[in-house]
Structures are given as C-alpha cells and as structure tokens.
C-alpha cells in the first residue's frame, strides 16, 4: 500500500512477532539474559510478566531461535495457547517433543510415555525447555500437572526448565493456595517495562531501518511525542498507530509523518465516548 511511497522493502509495523525486528532495549535484553541464566541454574520455573502487547511473544520467539542453534544441549517445546486440560497439555507436550503415541491413549499411559522420554533426554545430558505463552490463562489443574513433571528425578537429576510468559494476571494466578508449591519453585522472575519516550523513537527508527528505509527522519519529533502518549509505550499499540499514521500520510501524499497523522490514527482506534476527551488527554500535561 505505502511501501513504495516511503521507500520501504516491507511493512515495518506488522503485528506478527517477527524476530527480524527484535530490538535489544534494556528491559527486553535483561529478560533475555535472565532466561539464559535460569537455564543454567537448577531452577525449574521462571516467569516473565508484562502487559498485553509488551513484547512477551517476540521475546519468547527470540529465545526459541537462540536455543535452536544449541540442539546438542537443549530440547525446546512451545505452548502458545495453554487454555487446555491436563490431558490436552500432555498431548501437546508429547507432540512438541516428537513423541509418537496413540491418540486414544489414556492419560495415565500418556504420562508414562512423556515421563520416559524426559528421563531419556536427561540421561543424554539434554535440558528440556518448555515455553508457555499467555500463561495467565492456563487452568490451575493444568499448571499443577506441569509442575509435577519437575519432580521426575533419577541419578541424572531433573533437567526440565519451564518458562512462563504472561500478563499481570499470572501473578494473581500464582497466589492461589493450590499453586503454593509452584510459586515457591520460582527462582527467576522479571517484569517487562513499557517503552519510554526515547525508546519509542529508537523502536520506530529500528523497525523502519529493518524494513529497508534509508532516508532522513520519517516521523517528526512532535509525531513521536504523540505516538508515545497515545501508545503509552506499548509496542503493539506503537505498531498499530504507526501503521495507521503511515497510511494517513500516504493518502495525503505526505513524506513526513506529523502529529496530525498520529492524532488521526489514534482517533481511528478510539471508541466514540473516548474521542470526546481524547484531545484534552493527549495535548495537556
């Protein structure tokens, strides 16, 4: 749509978590380093918490890619939608680990098959890393079933590492009495920060560069100011507003994204009641 107009090779603000656009801002890099440290520790559980749209899935994908080059040490499993029963979770884990099993197998037998495979991997000096995205939505019983896998042990120890990625509601979930043991098992915890004004500018410039842009500054300073206010520093909202602003600028034949383009983009996603006070909220301290 506007790619040629702005001299881009691809759309810079897609909502898909493409690791090509991963930016090592302090919070993201600190979370990445924490997970790597957790994998080298004896801890079975770690969690990364952040608001919706804060970049948790992008970080998770980046970690998966980083471990992919170390297949001799790490076996990874990724569960993106954990709203499932204990049995469904074990089927998903078995599939991720490449375990062949009958579809109509009983839960007890399935658990035995998964346990056997995990023990075999541990004896081969492999660490199994289970990434659970949107973990705030996982049922308590399913989360407890995962925890019980960390009690599997033999002379080679338990090398299962579980990394939970979730919204702030994950902290509330872990306060439930039935999950006390899991909460106590958490050794690493990190909360992703939202972007500040300077980080929003760095983020926008980074994504434009990765999308093939090589010209002068495309987003005016006042546009970036309003983008920061309108998005509150949430990467997903930055992507939505920046994309819409680029469309507005393109439709008007403009080469520079201004404050007015950002404002029009914000109006486009705000509901009618919210629009009434939008100008006052964005343009007053």
pLDDT digits (tens, 9 = 90+) for 243-281: 999 999 999 999 999 999 999 999 988 654 455 455 555
> Is the domain of 114 the same as that of 34?
yes
Residues of the chain with pLDDT below 70 are: 154, 270-285
> Is the domain of 35 the same as that of 66?
yes
Q: Give the C-alpha separation, 250 to 22, whole Å.
A: 26
Chain centre to alpha carbon of residue 227? 22
132, 156, 191: which is the final residue of a domain? 191
191, 214, 243: which is the final residue of a domain? 191
> Is the domain of 168 the same as that of 38?
yes
> Is the domain of 133 the same as that of 222?
no
Distances (CA, A) of 29 to 33, 34, 48, 195, 209: 6, 9, 12, 13, 20
- 91 in a structural domain: yes
* β-strands 74-79, 45-49 pairing: unpaired
> Is the domain of 46 the same as that of 167?
yes
Q: Are 218 and 2 in contact (CB under 8 A)?
A: no
Q: Which of 194, 251, 219, 167 is nearest to 13 (CA)?
A: 219
Overall domain count for the chain:
2
Q: Give the C-alpha separation, 245 to 233, whole Å.
A: 16
Q: Give the C-alpha separation, 168 to 96, whole Å.
A: 27
Q: Give the C-alpha separation, 247 to 253, whole Å.
A: 10
> Is the domain of 136 the same as that of 211?
no
> Is the domain of 124 the same as that of 250?
no
191, 209, 241: which is the final residue of a domain? 191
Say which CATH number the domain at 46 has: 3.40.50.300
Tell me the two tokens of residue 129: 């890393």
**CB atoms closer than 10 angstroms to residue 177:** 7
Phi, psi of 102 (to 5 degrees): -70, 140
The pTM of this model reads 0.89
Q: What is the pLDDT of residues 135-168, one digit of tens each?
A: 999 999 999 999 999 988 767 788 999 999 999 9
- 169 in a structural domain: yes
> Is the domain of 277 the same as that of 164?
no
- 225 in a structural domain: yes
For position 277, what pLDDT does the model report? 53
- 16 in a structural domain: no
- 40 in a structural domain: yes
For position 1, what pLDDT does the model report? 84
> Is the domain of 148 the same as that of 210?
no
What are the DSSP calls for 180-207, one per residue? HHHHHHEEEEEEPPPP-HHHHHHHHHHH
- 84 in a structural domain: yes
- 153 in a structural domain: yes
Say which CATH number the domain at 252 has: 1.10.8.60
> Is the domain of 149 the same as that of 202?
no
> Is the domain of 218 the same as that of 172?
no
Find the domain containing 181 and state its range: 26-191
Q: Which of 33, 29, 28, 38 is nearest to 188 (CA)?
A: 38
* β-strands 186-191, 160-166 pairing: unpaired
For position 272, what pLDDT does the model report? 45
> Is the domain of 148 the same as that of 218?
no
- 183 in a structural domain: yes
């Amino acid at each position: 749509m506007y790619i040629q107009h702005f001299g881009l090779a691809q759309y810079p603000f897609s909502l898909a978590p493409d690791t090509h656009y991963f930016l090592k801002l302090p919070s993201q890099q600190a979370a990445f380093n924490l997970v790597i440290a957790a994998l080298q520790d004896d801890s079975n559980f770690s969690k990364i918490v952040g608001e919706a749209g804060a970049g948790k899935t992008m970080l998770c994908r980046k970690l998966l890619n980083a471990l992919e080059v170390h297949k001799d040490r790490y076996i990874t499993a990724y569960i993106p939608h954990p709203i499932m029963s204990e049995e469904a979770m074990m089927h998903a884990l078995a599939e991720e680990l490449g375990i062949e099993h009958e579809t109509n197998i009983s839960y007890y037998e399935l658990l035995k098959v998964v346990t056997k495979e995990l023990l075999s991997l541990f004896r081969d000096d492999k660490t199994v890393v289970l990434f659970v995205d949107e973990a705030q939505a996982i049922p308590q019983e399913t989360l407890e079933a995962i925890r019980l896998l960390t009690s599997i042990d033999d002379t080679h120890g338990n090398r299962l590492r579980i990394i939970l990625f979730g919204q702030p509601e994950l902290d509330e979930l872990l306060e439930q009495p039935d999950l006390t043991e899991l909460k106590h098992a958490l050794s690493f915890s990190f909360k992703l920060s939202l972007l500040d004004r300077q980080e929003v500018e760095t983020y926008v410039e980074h994504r434009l560069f990765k999308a093939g842009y090589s010209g002068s500054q495309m987003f005016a300073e006042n546009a970036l100011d309003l983008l920061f206010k309108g998005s509150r520093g949430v990467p997903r909202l930055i992507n939505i507003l920046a994309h819409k602003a680029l469309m507005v600028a393109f439709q008007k034949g403009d080469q520079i994204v201004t404050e007015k383009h950002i404002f029009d983009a914000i109006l486009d996603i705000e509901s009618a009641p919210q629009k009434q006070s939008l100008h006052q909220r964005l343009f007053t301290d």
